[in-house]
Amino acid sequence: MHESVRKLREDQLREAEGTPGLNRRVAFEADGHWFGHVEAEPETMSRWHHHGENVTIGYVLKGKITLEFGPGGQEQVEVNEGEYFEVPKQLVHREGNMSTETGEILLARVGEGPVVFSVDGPDPA
């Protein structure tokens, strides 16, 4: 069987499971990988979740993204435009855009199984 390169335009991305205010669209997904685009509306934060056996890798195209995690959700990392981030497997976290401007992120997930597991929150501090 002959494989070929696949190409998509932005208007061909499919809506993906998301959080109100964090609009996720998937370009490619298959066994072991997921790749897509997130538009983060101003002053929006996701629910607490983890990505199971998937590592999440991101690049901030526009704006600044805040990730909260750790005991009691007390740790925080801000990822600025032009910076990359990685969220390990099973790490309970939430992400959002605390600025007044829309943010954009490219996301890749590598691993197996479902990519989003909603939880009540991180372990207490």
- Asked if 46 and 107 touch (Cβ cutoff 8 Å), the reply is no
> For the chain, which residues make up each domain, given as ranges?
34-114
Q: Does domain 34-114 have CATH number 2.60.120.10?
A: yes
Percent of the chain with pLDDT over 90: 72
> Which pLDDT score, from 0 to 100, does residue 6 have?
87
Reply yes or no on whether the pLDDT at 1 is more than 80. no
Q: What is the pTM of this model?
A: 0.88
